[in-house]
A and B are shown apart, each in its own frame.
Chain A
């Protein structure tokens, strides 16, 4: 279908501000009378605050006050494992205990030094398996796990059970969570090749470039909070609740966010923003809280680590007939996540496993705060499964590309425990396109070729994420000037989804983009609710809402034209600046005129009556404040059917030096299967960025903790080892299938997360290939592991010996 905007590049309105430095992040704001907050954080990985004596600090010149957990939670801290604003019961090193406000940061630091903090040190644990073992320490006060609606609990295995698992055997303990479909026993009975192993994937921090600094002030009873988020409107209501202010008195300001990757999607993952808000309320001054890199590491979140056991069966033709997976998920010191469940669901979706069983037990450790990180679960497990696919192909004599095509998801397929159908699926097409663009046929003969100490390895990877939600709202306004204002609460993360999804409204109304404004940046610009811009869903979700709001507006425009010019609404068409009679185009009104007429009419035309039922709370508030200001399109998006997938495919070639264990990526091509392409440059950026993240997952990034004291050793960019220019190829090939999805009005689905999984899978497969098919069953596969393997030091390469945090 020929579109005016969809599938076309454009300059998102914030880009000039990013290259000139004019766009403002939370820390770039200042306010008259502003004072500064610093955090006193936990010096131990697990403890209990016994006493805080701040009398000397509070008597110091330039000190305005402190905020403690007792101020925030006068009725006691919530008994849940999630991040708290401040706490007296820290369960990870560096967790904020109190905040001091002073005239400047130096004074605040001096005041903190004068505070007497008495803290009881409690036993800590870094490895879930150590905690699971009888007699092992518990990460939380009250247990080592948290069961929904039941609270903290203790989960223990016998020492024999733990040792058996560590030795590579299927866990025998009952799991906390499980699902199953198909006939697992029959699936394995039908298999001609079965691979069974333990595996581990590392947890590691998000490390967004912008620390989660925040500034707040109060004015006329309203709280104004400059912060960071993945969606302004999704965060507004829960953040107001954390601050303790009614939604109508809360203004969240967030023009740009310096990276999210899952950890700024929900208010519960960034409750620290409430500290300056509450401190400001207490001392009646604007408060800036700058967050340091170390603090960002501690409260900024981390991917869950998985330690597990997996058994996969393949029929002689390469069909994956059965998979059995048992995970121990590392929930860290705060939070948790559903990585293991998503991992299993991802395998089901991507490889169409005929029978499957999933089991999981989640255990806390006194390590970084865990939560969703780009493709949580799917991206880790794909790095484990891809080399197994190659092993099966080799054992069964099936081509590596063909075994993937054989198991690929197609239209009409289902996945997961509920057999949920895909809205559409074109994985075979993606595989073929990627193979052609990479020249798989021409290059596959280079597999394992040596040149001195160098050896080539080739890999194919596939990525998946459920990439679309619905049930959100849209608001657009046709102004009396004839300009279109598209209200969009999607956060400005750098995906440019806030702008590209808005273009669906311009598309419906056939308006030039130059005549449209995206209204965003602060909630008092009256934004509709959006999804949290996590789960790769913005493109799917918010093209639906913007499209729907534009359809509502178009209907009203036609109704007004028919009312004033005769005929019925169906007699009218639009051209982007006029609405006119189809029979006689001379009879019509400009967009400005129809907007002005709508304002005269009021009522439903201006958002003052006949609103859609089920508008979300924030949207209803925004509409009430915009009512009467313009001709309005207002829309509540009903729920869609089935599972809109985001699929990716990566082909990759490396040259590995067997003397150093290092490798260079010689070629990398990654293909998206995400429905209709909305914004090609933005999509290419997501594919390239995802590729860099995939390289980090498979080869570089992990937590490091000192086992004696629980000290984090990877709190900086370099120790955490996020990829740099020199860790990534100078060029990354991209492409897309570009076939429309029927559940989206412009055919689009999301892609941000699977863009990473395919690359992590392909890279692990390529490393395995270069090493003659050796399976590390681990991610990352680091240089030392490769060298140890080549040197025959097998113990270091055992999956569970390379767990989440020991270097």
Chain B
């Protein structure tokens, strides 16, 4: 786990996002409203897939909601919406994170990567995506974007994992179809492709 994203830091982020009101003037100005005391900043900028995106975010809004319903990035799936399954896994500063359990306000000024951002400009699949195709890793596919992002995060921190390391590294992602073995085959193939 990235020490930068500890539970304490997550909670601090929640508190900070509720308290910070230093740069909310844009949203309130745009809406012709006076900023009420203690109000939460709404219009924020987040970096998603290499692009700075301005988005109107409620204080309690999760990153998964912002990605899916504000930015149209529906590749990030909601399987449980409570931090159990990993279908919503995205990378936040290269660290696999459950987007259902991260408040969007907490990722301001961080790099968010979703499954839509992995392909190269010419349309080539990311090595993990290509390996998952070659190994026919997905079954129903609903958990696949999360599996892809966890694998990408794993291989960035450990480019040549053993199968057991890959198994441990992917353990936060559930696959009800039981395609674990096929996903591990994909991770190991992706590591070889580099």
Contact = CB atoms under 8 A, between A and B. Distances in A.
Q: Decide if A and B are genuine partners.
A: yes
Interface stretch (A203-211, A439-447, A465-473): A203-211
Contacts of B79: 209-211, 258, 293, 717
Interface stretch (B18-26, B29-37, B40-48, B166-174): B166-174
A15 B168 contact: no
B70 to A, nearest CB: 11
What is the size category of the interface that chain A forms with chain B?
Answer: 35 or more
A19 interface: yes
B181 A732 contact: yes
B156 interface: no
Contacts of A729: 181
Contact of A689 (B139, B163, B168): B139
B174 A722 contact: yes
Contacts of B140: 208-210, 256-260, 493-494
Contact of B177 (A14, A22, A28, A259): A259
B104 to A, nearest CB: 16
Interface string A251-262: 000001111110
Contacts of B135: 681
A697 to B, nearest CB: 12
A682 B148 contact: no
Given A688-B178, A731-B163, A495 B115 contact: no
Contacts of B82: 293, 716
Interface string A14-46: 111111111111011000000000000000000
Nearest to B135: A681
Interface in B69-106: 73-82, 84-85, 87
Contacts of A207: 176
Given A209-B85, A717-B80, A256 B141 contact: yes
Contacts of A716: 80, 82, 84
B132 A19 contact: yes
Contacts of B81: 292-293
A693 interface: yes
Contacts of A148: none
B114 interface: yes
B114 A21 contact: yes
Nearest to A288: B69
Interface string A69-88: 00000000000000000000
A722 B73 CA distance: 28
Interface in B149-194: 163-164, 167-168, 170-171, 173-182, 184
Contacts of B148: 19
Contacts of A208: 140, 142, 176
A23 B84 CA distance: 23
A259 B142 contact: yes
A330 B148 CA distance: 39
Contact of B141 (A211, A258, A688, A717): A258
B56 interface: no
Interface in A663-712: 681-682, 684-685, 688-693
B124 to A, nearest CB: 11
A19 B179 CA distance: 14
A21 B145 contact: yes
A685 B179 CA distance: 7
A759 to B, nearest CB: 10
Contact of A209 (B143, B181, B182): B143
Contacts of A22: 75, 116
A494 B142 CA distance: 9
Contacts of A259: 140, 142, 176-177
In this complex, the member of B76, B132, B163, B181 whose beta carbon has the largest number of chain A beta carbons within 10 angstroms is B181
B176 A722 contact: yes
B128 to A, nearest CB: 8
B176 A21 contact: no
Contacts of B139: 493-495, 685, 689
Contacts of B125: 16, 19-20
A15 B145 CA distance: 12
B144 A18 contact: yes
Interface string A494-525: 11100000000000000000000000000000
A428 interface: no
A693 B75 contact: no
Given A11-B133, A208-B140, A685-B136, 6 more contacts: A20-B119, A493-B140, A689-B178, A725-B167, A726-B171, A732-B181
Please list the 8 inter-chain residue pairs (A to B) with the smallest Cβ-Cβ separation, ordered nearest first: A21-B75, A692-B178, A258-B142, A494-B139, A18-B141, A494-B140, A689-B178, A28-B74
10 contacts: A12-B136, A16-B125, A21-B75, A27-B78, A209-B87, A209-B142, A684-B182, A690-B178, A693-B178, A717-B80
